[in-house]
Amino acid sequence: MASSPKIIVIGGGLAGLSAVIKIAEMGGHVDLFSIVPVKRSHSVCAQGGINAAKNLKGEGDSTWKHFDDTIYGGDFLANQPPVKAMCEAAPGIIDLLDRMGVPFNRTPEGLLDFRRFGGTLYNRTAFAGATTGQQLLYALDEQVRRYESEGKVKKYEHWEFLSAVLDSNKICRGICAMDLRSMEVRTFPADAIIIATGGNGAIFGKSTNSVVCTGSAQSALYQQGCFYGNGEFIQVHPTCIPGEDKLRLMSESARGEGGRVWVPKTPGDNRDPLSIPQSERWYFLEEWYPKYGNLVPRDIATRAIFKVVFEHNLGIDGKPMVYLDLTHIDPKILDRKLEGILEIYEKFVGDDPRKVPMKIFPGMHYTMGGLWIDFNQATNIPGIYAAGECEYQYHGANRLGANSLVSCIFGGFVAGPAAVQYARNLQTAPGNGHFDAERKHQEENNSMLMKSDGKENPFRLWQEFGELMTANCTVIRYNNKLKETDSKLCEMLERFRHINLNDRTQWANTSVVFTRQLYNMLQLGRVIAQGAAMRNESRGAHYKPDFPERDDKNWLKTTKAYFAPDADEPKFEFEAVDISLIPPRPRKYDAVK
């Protein structure tokens, strides 16, 4: 193979950019594809921070404790060796980001400051105000821009990955992508490709994710033969601000800095919250989980809020909402540490959270599931790697706050060199015909959509789909509802054949682009619904009242979905979890672990 490997990276969030930097540093050449200019990737939304056990607060924290918290928080579903490697690498990653110029908050001595996040008892989260993701992404973006100006990286922004190009031996030889302006479909050869396309919030209609987080690329690859791991594990974040177009997140850092969750003790109490005396407030998280208090993991906090709202009927104004209260904290401290998120609340709700308690409710936030990869970030198709939220490796059944950013960067740092290594040993392809064939296949998909003249509006279908998924495949799951969901998804896939595009122009046609993504979302929706239906236990974010206990005997297993093209549906197999380092123990946050 050529001495300078050519790698295609798809996605320019933290994971993609991390991979790009490593490849360029190793002398490889990168073509970087992204729907949005990489600086506008979803990673900019991350607010609270990034975890690393640097133990700068004299608390006796260690990378092993970070590892243990992560495995325990994930309810023992994550393979342990890669998680351990990530936690060991985390302090070095923070140092590197610091050297790149990330304006992390500082202690008076000029060292990095750390705060506490959910699911741990240590101050382990480094942060840059309340826009940590933005600051990290910019630092990596700047380094990539430097490589770009040296000619080592070529960016294809406003391009969408459609599919991988596989040769007759089912080895990946490149990609097929579409220019989102000219709508041209083109293939690009590469020695290896890295998928770093982020989350899939759009499957749930409204979520805390950005608009382009559809999971479409992951789904396309699943339909081409990649395994999809643990798809049923979806994180619902306890504290979101419901909105017309999206659910905006109120970061866990609000609780990390002392924010308290409460409801009035009497149903229907509609007094001004500030006039309700302490004795008439119910700080239910603090009462139920005295040790972790407001900082229990997200699945626990979310279910607690559901219980208070739906079983005790204590939602504010009779609506599914509870208070997240910061008003007891010095506004100066709030501004220094949380300004970015307070601003979001102010801008989008119109109230000042320094003065009035915020009204929040759980919302879809993150997918623990994703493309199945091995410990080298390789999928089961040779030449395809994955890193970041689009893969399943690091968070088990529930992700701890501030662990995603570190898993994205770590995953990229593993995937980049692994892809280069693979490329250096790659044999040449048995022919070139597969490029043309794939391009024609994708062009046909486009022209079919352009010609289709049914009645279904794709955006309305999406809304219906999202509501269905949110109702049945999030916090509380019942088998009959899950099965019903899957058959409704089949109906929607059928209705998809009668889609009406409204827009048939060949230039910057966002309807075609979205409609293609919608198809892939529907296919992935089935993986989530069926995976959830199969798993008869409760573990982390996956909760079934009919099977309330974790069942290690039958379900300490990774779900691997694969697409059966002849049947046009998912099939499943299961794989033992690597628990070689920490023996599973019951997960209980109401007691010392």
Choosing from 70, 120, 163, 209, the residue that interacts with ligand FAD (CB under 6 A) is: 209
Residue 149 in the binding site for another protein (CB under 8 A): yes
Residue list 447-466, contact with ligand FAD (CB under 6 A):
none
CA neighbor of 489 nearest in space, from 468, 458, 516: 468
Q: Which residues contact 204 (CB under 8 A, 6 or more apart)?
A: 234, 364, 466, 469, 470, 473, 474
CA distance 432 to 439: 12
Out of another protein, ligand FAD, none, what residue 457 binds, judged by CB under 5 to 8 A for its kind, is another protein
CA distance 461 to 496: 8
Phi, psi (deg, nearest 5) at residue 13: -80, -165
Residue 419 in the binding site for another protein (CB under 8 A): no
Residue 148 in the binding site for another protein (CB under 8 A): yes
CA distance 453 to 311: 47
Choosing from 100, 183, 579, 582, the residue that interacts with another protein (CB under 8 A) is: 100
Residue 276 in the binding site for ligand FAD (CB under 6 A): no
CB contact at 8 A, 373 and 391: yes
Identity of the amino acid at 553: K
Residue 485 in the binding site for ligand FAD (CB under 6 A): no
CA distance 164 to 187: 9
Residue list 431-460, contact with another protein (CB under 8 A):
457, 459-460
Choosing from 92, 267, 431, 433, the residue that interacts with another protein (CB under 8 A) is: 92
Out of another protein, ligand FAD, none, what residue 404 binds, judged by CB under 5 to 8 A for its kind, is ligand FAD
* Piece of 33-41, 280-288, 534-542, 584-592 that binds ligand FAD (CB under 6 A): 33-41
Out of ligand FAD, another protein, none, what residue 204 binds, judged by CB under 5 to 8 A for its kind, is none
Q: Which residues contact 569 (CB under 8 A, 6 or more apart)?
A: 526, 563
Q: What is the DSSP string of 498-514?
A: TBB-S---SSS-HHHHH
Identity of the amino acid at 387: A
Residue 239 in the binding site for ligand FAD (CB under 6 A): no
Residue 521 in the binding site for ligand FAD (CB under 6 A): no
Cα Rg of the chain (Å, integer): 23
CB contact at 8 A, 468 and 482: no
Q: Is 510 exposed, middle or buried (0-12, 13-18, 19+ CB in 10 A)?
A: exposed
CA distances from 89 to 422, 442, 562 (A): 22, 40, 32
Out of another protein, ligand FAD, none, what residue 372 binds, judged by CB under 5 to 8 A for its kind, is none
Residue 501 in the binding site for ligand FAD (CB under 6 A): no
Residue 146 in the binding site for another protein (CB under 8 A): yes
Residue 151 in the binding site for another protein (CB under 8 A): no
Number of residues this chain uses to bind ligand FAD (CB under 6 A): 47
Answer left, alpha or beta for residue 451, where phi above 0 means left and psi between -120 and 50 means alpha: alpha
Residue 294 in the binding site for another protein (CB under 8 A): no
Residue 139 tokens read as 């630092």
Q: How far is the CB of 204 from another protein (least distance, A)?
A: 15
Out of ligand FAD, another protein, none, what residue 433 binds, judged by CB under 5 to 8 A for its kind, is none
CA distance 36 to 305: 35
- Other C-beta atoms within 10 Å of 465: how many? 23
Out of ligand FAD, another protein, none, what residue 108 binds, judged by CB under 5 to 8 A for its kind, is another protein
Residues 154-168 as b or e (16 or more Cβ within 10 Å = b): ebbebbbbbbbbbbe
Choosing from 6, 22, 42, 516, the residue that interacts with ligand FAD (CB under 6 A) is: 42
* Piece of 77-85, 141-149, 189-197, 570-578 that binds another protein (CB under 8 A): 141-149
The smaller minimum CB distance to another protein, of residues 212 and 529, is found at 212
The smaller minimum CB distance to another protein, of residues 490 and 508, is found at 508
The smaller minimum CB distance to ligand FAD, of residues 15 and 381, is found at 15
CA distance 68 to 84: 8
Q: Is residue 424 among the annotated active site residues?
A: no
Residue 154 in the binding site for another protein (CB under 8 A): no
Out of another protein, ligand FAD, none, what residue 6 binds, judged by CB under 5 to 8 A for its kind, is none
CB contact at 8 A, 65 and 40: no
Q: Which residues contact 567 (CB under 8 A, 6 or more apart)?
A: none
Residue 176 in the binding site for ligand FAD (CB under 6 A): no
List helix spans (H) across 26-102: 63-73, 80-99
Q: How far is the CB of 45 from ligand FAD (least distance, A)?
A: 4
Q: What is the DSSP string of 7-19?
A: EEEE--SHHHHHH
Per annotation, catalytic residue among 260, 281, 298, 535:
298
Interacting residue ranges for ligand FAD, rule: CB under 6 A? 10-16, 33-36, 38, 41-43, 45-50, 132-133, 160-161, 196-199, 208-209, 212-213, 216-217, 249, 251, 365-366, 388-390, 402-405, 408
Interacting residue ranges for another protein, rule: CB under 8 A? 21-22, 25, 36-37, 39-42, 44-45, 92, 95-96, 98-101, 103-112, 128-129, 131, 134-135, 138-139, 142-143, 145-146, 148-149, 157, 181, 210-212, 243-246, 248, 336, 340, 344, 347-348, 350, 413, 457, 459-460, 463, 502-503, 505, 507-511
What residues are labeled active site? 298
